[in-house]
Amino acid sequence: MQAEPTSASPQKKRVFRFLVLFPVFLAVGFCGLLIPFLHPVVTGFTRGLVEISAIVIRLFGGSATANQVVLQNPSNGFAMEVLDGCNGDDVAVLLWAAILAYPASWSQKGKGLLAGTATIYVINFLRIISLFYLGQYDKQWFEFAHLYVWESVFVLLTLTIFWTWVRRMSTPSS
């Protein structure tokens, strides 16, 4: 009879600890993104992302040029500005906050952060390219995919990455 409360108690503590730390780390991360002196770093990253996107599109036979944070198609004039919120940083902050708040060893956290962040940025890169083509096809669909579908997918993706990390982490010990 006593085994149940003692085994449930550390689990409850872990969940409670996570629920307290996660919003704190999240707030710190989002504030970090908003701090004015970090803005050039974030914009520089976005610019790099746009330039790589243009290079990859050209490699696959498409037509794209990068102008600062604007990705454009010179052949039809379509241009798409990649804002700071569209560079995947927000979602990366979300994942970082979740992984850092979860009770695990630093090496496990490090692996999760590296793999998770890489996955997020690779998928965001695909998102930018898909939106670039969708925008040339139909502006309404572009808006729908940009603001609602991709953003929702990203949050659910982050949740899935985190869940996968937690499961993988607990597999050897169980």
Partner 1 sequence: MLALWWLVLLNPLLAGLRLSAELTLRLLPGGSSVSHVTIGPGRNWTFQVPVPAAVANQERTQQMLGAAAAGSGRIKIRSMKVEGAGRYPILFTVSLPLYWAILLAAPGWRRLLLRMSCGTAVLAAFALLSIAAYAMRLVGGYFQLTTEGLPGFLMDSAMYLAAGVVPYLGPVLVALTLNADLRGLILASEAAPAAAAVPRRRKRR
Our finding on whether 142 is near partner 1 (CB under 8 A) is no
Tokens 């600062």 belong to which residue? Answer: 68
DSSP β-bridge partners for residue 71: 66, 80
Residues of span 90-109 touching partner 1 by CB under 8 A: 90, 94, 102
Closest CA to 125 of 115, 135, 114, 117: 117
Q: Is 139 in the site for partner 1 (CB under 8 A)?
A: no
Nearest-CA neighbor of 131 among 148, 145, 149? 145
Minimum CB separation of residue 48 from partner 1 in Å reads 21
Report in angstroms how near the CB of residue 135 gets to partner 1 at its nearest.
15
Q: Which is nearer to partner 1, 64 or 162 (CB)?
A: 162
82 binds partner 1 (CB under 8 A): no
- Closer to partner 1 by Cβ: residue 2 or 76: 2
- The answer to whether residues 103 and 165 touch, using CB atoms and an 8 Å cutoff, is no
Sequence-separated (6 or more) residues with CB below 8 Å from residue 30: 90, 93
Span near partner 1 by CB under 8 A; candidates 62-70, 113-121, 124-132, 152-160 = 152-160
